[in-house]
Amino acid sequence: MKIVFATHNINKAKEVAALLPNIELVTLEEIACFEEIAETATTLEGNAAIKANYVTEKYKLNCFADDTGLEVDALNGSPGVYSARYAGEDGDAEKNMDKLLNALRGQENRSARFRTVIALNLDGKQFQFEGVCEGEILKEKSGSKGFGYDPIFKPKGYTTSFAEMSMHEKGKISHRGLAVAKLIAFLNTL
């Protein structure tokens, strides 16, 4: 089965491709979609649907898209849907992490979760799958693997950050890995 994964993030594409061994994953670049798809919704579910719908409508292809947010309890669920742009439109992972660490300075409650929602457009229908990974925000960055907030997020029950785990180890427990597992289980029923 061939499905487009609506992302320009090469790290995310590699991570998901490793979890979908029986699916031919096609990237936006491979279908010559180079435009940025505006994420204008106020929920992860809405942004995932916007991206999947854009590809399906414009290219007439089965597609899935995801949106992920880091929800920090002490910040009332922020940065949430704005995680990628937390430090501003020109922000990057380092600036986002620095802003979050500063916002939590002196805060004892460091509980947080990563939440991923996948919207799958398949043969004219849309399905959504969610994955959640509970954990906490570390007080400083640790590790050099992964991407995004990985160096400051430690999953519950583990002693290391996502950035200290192999892609395989992270994939088994991560929010995206859990959402993709639900996607795979669904595709296997077809």
Give the pLDDT of residue 190: 79
**For residue 147, what are the domain limits?**
2-187
Q: Which residues are catalytic, by number?
A: 67
End-to-end CA distance of the chain: 10
Number of domains in the chain: 1
Query: Do the beta carbons of residue 33 and residue 59 sit within 8 Å?
Result: yes
Helices then strands, each counted (H, E), the chain: 5, 7
**Backbone torsion region of residue 61, taken as left when φ is above 0, otherwise alpha when ψ lies between -120 and 50, otherwise beta:** beta
Give the pLDDT of residue 184: 87
Residue segments in the chain with a per-residue pLDDT below the cut of 70: none
Q: Under 8 Å CB-to-CB from 110, ≥6 apart: which residues?
A: 72, 74, 104, 136, 137, 138, 139
Mean pLDDT of the chain: 93
Q: Which of 107, 86, 112, 105 is closest to 97 using CA atoms?
A: 86
- For 161-185, the pLDDT digits (tens) are 999 999 889 988 999 999 999 998 8
CATH of the domain at 43: 3.90.950.10
Q: Give yes or no for a cis peptide into 79 (omega within 30° of 0).
A: yes
DSSP-derived letter for residue 40 is -
Give the pLDDT of residue 59: 96
Q: Which residue has the tokens 């077809």?
A: 190
Give the pLDDT of residue 12: 80
Query: Do the beta carbons of residue 106 and residue 83 sit within 8 Å?
Result: no
Q: Which of 180, 91, 43, 70 is closest to 136 using CA atoms?
A: 70
Q: Under 8 Å CB-to-CB from 70, ≥6 apart: which residues?
A: 79, 80, 83, 100, 112, 113, 114, 149, 153
Give the pLDDT of residue 168: 85
